[in-house]
Chains A and B, each alone.
Chain A
Amino acid sequence: VPEVEEHDEL
């Protein structure tokens, strides 16, 4: 399972 990145966009 790929690690979930933070959503840094709007």
Chain B
Amino acid sequence: MNIFRLFGDLSHLLAIIILLLKIWKTRSCAGISGKSQILFAIVYTSRYLDLMTTYISAYNTFMKIVFVATSYATVFLMYMKFKATYDRNHDTFRIEFLIVPAVILALVINQEFTVLEVLWTFSIYLESVAILPQLFLVSKTGEAESITSHYLFALGSYRALYLLNWVYRYYAEDHYDLIAIVAGLVQTVLYCDFFYLYITKVLKGKKLQLPA
């Protein structure tokens, strides 16, 4: 565990907490893509099946359980409890266009052709693009609430910090995992446009509004 990884994980945790608090406090999930949240639930379910087979550390187990549980909690809040506030007319991204290629890619490019390894690889590929329905929703409505922007910034920072973690581990531990690194790069690049808007607008107290 190094500082980049720790802050990456904390940033991820913060993103989830921000999102759940936003939904709970405002009793609304307006502006949030349920499609992205479903993809995240699929991602964590398929990645953390190794909870049954491999023990890494108490920290690792605890965080995995939190990520899986909160992803289902979010989906439940959006599709059941606060269903009426869900922005379904704008949340029209077709997630099969992300899931199917991720499945195919995981079957073709993986480290080992076993069920758990292919599912792990699938989850890495799918996570890299899982935010697209959310970014699509923001671009469709042309704006995002500040709290949604903070959520997206924390969520995007997590993989960016993981990139630093991988650079560190490459030099310090001679460890690298090419699949995770390439997917992590893709994932971070997808946020770049948003990061730019966040820094130039949201941090200066303005609302995140896309140019018309």
The dominant DSSP class at the B interface is helix
Give the chain B neighbours of A9 by CB distance below 8 A.
Answer: 5, 162, 165, 180
Cβ proximity bits A1-10 to B, threshold 8 Å, 1 near / 0 not:
1101111111
A4 and B112 form a contact (CB under 8 A): yes
User: How far does the Cβ of A8 sit from chain B's closest Cβ, in whole Å?
Assistant: 5
Q: Within B33-69, which residues are at the interface with A (CB < 8 Å)?
A: 50, 54, 56, 60, 63-64, 67
Tell whether, in the assembled complex, residue B64 and residue A10 are in contact, meaning their CB atoms are under 8 Å apart: yes
Alpha-carbon distance A1/B73, docked complex (angstroms): 40
Residue of A nearest to B5 (CB): A9
Q: CA A2 – CA B117 in complex, angstroms?
A: 14
Report the minimum CB–CB distance from A10 to chain B (whole Å): 5
Binding site for A on B (CB under 8 A): 5, 9, 12, 50, 54, 56, 60, 63-64, 67, 111-112, 117, 120, 162, 165, 175, 177, 180
| 16 additional A-B residue pairs with CB within 8 Å, beyond A2-B111, A10-B63 | A1-B112, A4-B112, A4-B117, A5-B175, A5-B177, A6-B50, A7-B120, A8-B56, A8-B60, A9-B5, A9-B162, A9-B165, A9-B180, A10-B12, A10-B60, A10-B67
